[in-house]
Amino acid sequence: MNQRLAFRVGGKSMTEMTASHMMNREVISFGKETYCNVLAETMLKGRFGSIPITNHKKELIGVVSEYDLMEALKEGMDLRETLAVEIMAKPVISITEEMPIEEVIHLLLSKHFIRVPVVDAEEILIGIISRRDILGCYAKSGFGPLPGFKHDV
């Protein structure tokens, strides 16, 4: 049984979960030489708001978000002629799959992030976790109120 399914059927309490229990391992990423119109079209089709940018080894090197694309448009850039490397956010804040969910929630809230990339020890992109992933797992788990977390947000 995979970890996400074990969580959903009550295998662990939410306070025992890590990013690996809730992250999505099927992540679309692009290289830095990708034109931004391709990124925008992919975001629209996939109904997500950012795309990790990786190098040829799949190491995370940046992220392009809807916000970045909107800023480029505001600056008069043509997304058909603008490369990801020109507008991507870097350095990227990422997490490891061992990060406790409590800390993931704190990061998402304190930075006002919707999602955060998950990398391994070599900075290879292995997943992404979003607020929706966490809320979806919570909703399907049958948990009641959670104990208050330690961090002030």
Question: Does the residue 122 lie in any domain?
Answer: yes
DSSP alpha helix (H) spans, 23-100:
36-46, 66-74, 84-87
Question: Does the residue 151 lie in any domain?
Answer: no
Structure tokens at 108: 């998402």
DSSP code for 95 = E
Question: Does the residue 146 lie in any domain?
Answer: no
pLDDT recorded at residue 138: 80
Judge contact between 49 and 115, C-beta under 8 A.
yes
Question: Does the residue 71 lie in any domain?
Answer: yes
pLDDT recorded at residue 10: 52
For β-strands 95-96 and 60-65, DSSP reports them as: unpaired
- Residue indicated by tokens 């979960």: 17
Calculate the average pLDDT of the chain.
88
Exposed, middle or buried by CB within 10 Å (0-12, 13-18, 19+), for 114?
middle
Domain count for the chain, please give it. Answer: 1
Closest by alpha carbon to 57, among 128, 118, 122, 127? 122
Question: Does the residue 150 lie in any domain?
Answer: no
pLDDT recorded at residue 28: 96
* Residue 129: its H or E element: strand 125-130
| Domain of residue 93, CATH code | 3.10.580.10
Report the predicted TM-score, pTM, of the whole model to 2 decimal places: 0.83
pLDDT recorded at residue 82: 98
Question: Does the residue 147 lie in any domain?
Answer: no
Beta bridge partners of 60: 54
pLDDT recorded at residue 137: 84
Question: Does the residue 152 lie in any domain?
Answer: no
pLDDT tens per residue, range 106-123: 999 999 999 999 999 999
Question: Which of the residues in the chain have pLDDT under 50?
Answer: 1-2, 4-9, 153
Instruction: Give residue 35's domain range.
Output: 3-141
Question: Does the residue 83 lie in any domain?
Answer: yes
